[in-house]
Structure 1
Amino acid sequence: MFKKVLIITYYWPPSGGAGVQRWLKMSKYLSEYGWEPIIYTPENAAYPIIDHSLEKDVVHGMKILRLPIWEPYDMYKKFVGRKKEEAVYSGFLSENKPRSFTEKLSIWIRGNLFIPDARCFWIEPSIKYLTNEIKKNPVDAIISSGTPHSMHLIALGIKKKLNIPWLADFRDPWTTIDFYNQLMLTRWADAKHHR
């Protein structure tokens, strides 16, 4: 009998790029080790890269849970004058190019008010949804994959409510990322974590 693992990831096909690869590939082989993966991902994510060819790598019949997410990037694009269909890459915070006042203001808002990232509005609805889902269909473990780091806060919330073992997969750096020192809360966070 398989154990069940809930994998919380923002990036899942049709997302393309590097962020989707690790858990898309690992989920294919978990059954060989006695684990049935259940994927939780946004229903309407704003992926910067779309690659429908990756959908063929999703194991047939795999359970995929989806919940709508509010993406602030549409608002950002309007504010800075970008086209609606234009992709916003997560690295836009660290792009080394001249910026307009509205772009600078948008970056400041993103880096200092959307904590830990722009997907923070998905945390509470996801905890509520997944807590109800897991009570009906229990899992044996949770894996969260970030960035975005909001995925880890979703997993933490579920762990606290249901006491399920949790593994956090930090794919990208949090405090060594190139724009870290530009954030308003950096000094406070560093002081708190170095006590």
Structure 2
Amino acid sequence: MKKILILAYDFPPYISVGGLRPYGWYKNLSEFGIYPIVVTRQWENKKGNKLDYILPSKSDYKIIDHNKEGTIIKAPFKPNISNKLLLKYGEKRFKFIRKLISAYYEFIQYIFIIGPKAQIYKEANNFLKEEQVDVIIATGDPFVLFSYANKLSKKHNIPWIADYRDPWSQDIPIQKYKLYQKWCSFFEKKIIPQAKTITTVSEFLKIKIMELTKINNAYIIYNGYDEDLVKMTSHLSQNKDKMSVAYMGTIYDWYPINNFFMVVLKFIEEYEPNNFEINFYGINKEVELKELINTRYKKLEGFINIYPKMQNSELLKKIATDNLFLLFNNYSFLGTKIFDYVALKRKILFCYTDDFESKRLKKQHYLIEELGSEFQHLQEDMLKSTNSAIIIKDELHLNDVLKELYKEFSKKRTISCDAVNTEMYSRKIQTQELAKIILNIV
């Protein structure tokens, strides 16, 4: 059996969609003749919020777990001074100092093995001194893992694969910091051509990466869904008491959430339903959302529930009882939640394809250079091919759709969804595709 060393910073039990991708590999690769060894960090998950990312580990030593699927090496984690200040004094104090310290590590980590993530490299290197593997794969972000994989590749003469979950120097948030963007671009162009190949999550990202780094070969491995977790929800029925709409995960600045609430408010004022609700799960803007509701949409308070982050197994069980899923337009990006949505076979409300407010927000916040029009509706294409969604043009269309769906629910106590062709997006199938790439390399 071939062996692969996987560098993955985000990994369960840390609650992050970024950790689900390498976990799917770890869980399934052995079925296809490859033994995975994951090098990650120790996670505590004490806070249930973003502070979990910087909490120190309980142990100062590595922890190794051997399971039937493979091996997990968990490196100890020590927060830097910026992290310690944040943990001790909160977000409002020492902002400038914390930013300076964080910036220092973000820049210097590509030159020296230093900073909060350096222990990943050290534990991987120690392992390779004693054991042989056939290939290394690093999944980013954090993209310093690509630098680590490249160094390990040269030191131990092992081919490596760069796996992009998101763009590196071309990512939207990084465009605001021109110096850092140029810094990352320099190292991306330097490091990535030394990889044996790259994998990424969509055709759009594949082309953007190839254009920047001038590499000739790249493969698409979709994020996919966990078929075992989906099977665990198969016995769960839709909510029959209330027509419930679910949304999970990140709310980006270009999402027309205000517009969506405005339409929902009109619907509620017209129908005065006592059996309607919207459930938000593990969102990143809980404070902002509550403030928006409190100041502008007070009438929605009794119709909206906000739940904290939870493990993916719990989350899927929760949303499987909802009747509808809400998905905002990410244009050139597929995202992750879309795969869980289509797998659970609940009707998806896809907002929007041609809405004035959405276009305004996109122009203001969606800071990435897009390709041709065929790459600007990847979600819509997938939703149409799986027959999973109602493709909503604008707010007027959404208003009509909510009325029709509410009539359907009032009559049937359920919302129909006749999704097809979803199986190809399972993580097992996607891992099988990755295994083919790996075996072709070694």
Name the TM-score, length of structure 1 as normaliser.
0.68
Q: Which protein has the larger Cα radius of gyration, Structure 1 or Structure 2? A: 2
- 5+ residue gaps, structure 2, are 53-65, 190-211, 213-442
Structure 2 match to 1:65? 73
Asked if 2 retains the 8 angstrom alpha-carbon contact of 1:108 and 1:183, the reply is no
* More displaced 10-residue stretch of structure 1: 123-132 or 173-182: 123-132
Q: 1:130 to 1:189 in 2, by over 3 A?
A: closer
Structure 2 match to 1:139? 133
Once the two structures are TM-superposed, the CA of residue 68 in structure 1 deviates from its matched residue by 1.3
Once the two structures are TM-superposed, the CA of residue 183 in structure 1 deviates from its matched residue by 5.0
Asked if 2 retains the 8 angstrom alpha-carbon contact of 1:116 and 1:150, the reply is no
Structure 2 match to 1:8? 7
2:177 to 171, 179, 182: 182
Asked if 1 retains the 8 angstrom alpha-carbon contact of 2:139 and 2:146, the reply is yes
> Which residue identity does 2:78 align to in structure 1?
W
2:84 to 61, 75, 94: 75
Q: 1:148 to 1:139 in 2, by over 3 A?
A: same
Matches within 5 A, 1:2-41: 2-41=1-40
What is the rounded CA distance, in whole Å, between the counterparts of 1:37 and 1:76 in structure 2?
A: 37
Q: 1:120 to 1:152 in 2, by over 3 A?
A: farther
Once the two structures are TM-superposed, the CA of residue 45 in structure 1 deviates from its matched residue by 6.8
- 5+ residue gaps, structure 1, are 51-57, 84-99
Asked if 2 retains the 8 angstrom alpha-carbon contact of 1:3 and 1:140, the reply is yes
* More displaced 10-residue stretch of structure 1: 68-77 or 153-162: 68-77
SS at match of 2:138: strand
What is the rounded CA distance, in whole Å, between the counterparts of 1:64 and 1:188 in structure 2?
A: 32
* More displaced 10-residue stretch of structure 1: 68-77 or 21-30: 68-77
Asked if 1 retains the 8 angstrom alpha-carbon contact of 2:2 and 2:134, the reply is yes
What is the rounded CA distance, in whole Å, between the counterparts of 2:12 and 2:183 in structure 1?
A: 37
Name the TM-score, length of structure 2 as normaliser.
0.33
What is the rounded CA distance, in whole Å, between the counterparts of 1:174 and 1:121 in structure 2?
A: 19
Cα offsets for 1:50-104 (capped at 9, x unmatched): 7xxxxxxx9646211122132225324157x318xxxxxxxxxxxxxxxx68324
Name which structure has the greater RCO, CA cutoff 8 Å, separation 6+: 1
Once the two structures are TM-superposed, the CA of residue 171 in structure 1 deviates from its matched residue by 1.2
Q: How many percent of aligned residue pairs carry the same amino acid?
A: 26
Asked if 2 retains the 8 angstrom alpha-carbon contact of 1:42 and 1:66, the reply is yes
RMSD: 3.4
| Number of positions where the alignment pairs a residue of Structure 1 with one of Structure 2 | 168
